[in-house]
């Protein structure tokens, strides 16, 4: 028995005349499993997709780090000016010399960290994920989730339709 939450028989659309639902209330072809694709393959592609989604979140956090650090540096410039205006030239000079415009890691500002992440990890990851999906599922995305939706939705209910 398969431990997958997807019940293949529950999402087989060879007969779209299910009682109580409109014949056109089926997932789009882009969200239907191609012939010959196994449950194990759909599950593996789901795990690959989930990993990519986690990378997307990490990338978002990296952009947040980039923007927050850049914003802090701009605020720091204002603080340097305020220290000078308040008559604290030595302290302003210290902050300006030691922290303002400083690299976050040796040789890198945050934009360079983002660029390196994108080129070294993110772009190759997305390219490989697309290639694997292309080779194993005709490039179809989110098959695992689409089948889960189909297995869990209430057919015929207006808020449980297959598509938009």
DSSP string computed for 86-126: TT-HHHHHHHHHHTTT--SBTTB-HHHHHHHHIIIIIHHHH
Average pLDDT across each block of 10 residues of the chain; the chain has 164 residues. List them in order.
48 42 76 93 96 98 98 98 98 98 97 98 98 95 91 92 88
pLDDT score of 51: 98
pLDDT score of 126: 98
* CA 95 centroid distance within chain: 38
pLDDT score of 106: 97
pLDDT score of 19: 41
Handedness of CA 20, 22, 29, 49 (dihedral sign): negative
pLDDT score of 20: 42
SS3 105: strand
Q: Taking the domains of the chain in order of start, what are their residue ranges?
A: 40-152
DSSP H or E run through 58? helix 39-85
Cα 104 from Cα 138, distance rounded (Å): 42
pLDDT score of 91: 98
Asked if 151 contacts 8 with a C-beta cutoff of 8 angstroms, the reply is no
In the block, which residue shows the tokens 């997307």? 56
């Amino acid at each position: 028995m398969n431990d997958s939450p997807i019940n293949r028989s529950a999402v087989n659309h060879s007969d779209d005349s299910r009682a109580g639902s409109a014949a056109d209330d089926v997932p789009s072809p882009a969200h239907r499993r191609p012939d010959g694709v196994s449950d194990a393959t759909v599950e593996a592609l789901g795990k690959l997709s989930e990993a990519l989604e986690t990378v997307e979140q990490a990338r978002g956090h990296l952009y947040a780090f980039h923007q927050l650090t850049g914003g802090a540096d701009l605020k720091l410039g204002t603080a340097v000016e305020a220290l000078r205006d308040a008559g604290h030239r030595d302290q302003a000079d210290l902050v300006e010399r030691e922290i303002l415009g400083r690299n976050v890691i040796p040789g890198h500002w945050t934009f360079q960290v983002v660029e390196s992440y994108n080129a070294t990890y993110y772009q190759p990851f997305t390219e490989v994920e697309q290639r694997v999906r292309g080779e194993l599922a005709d490039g179809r995305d989110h098959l695992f989730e689409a089948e889960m939706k189909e297995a869990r939705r209430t057919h015929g209910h207006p808020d449980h339709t297959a598509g938009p």
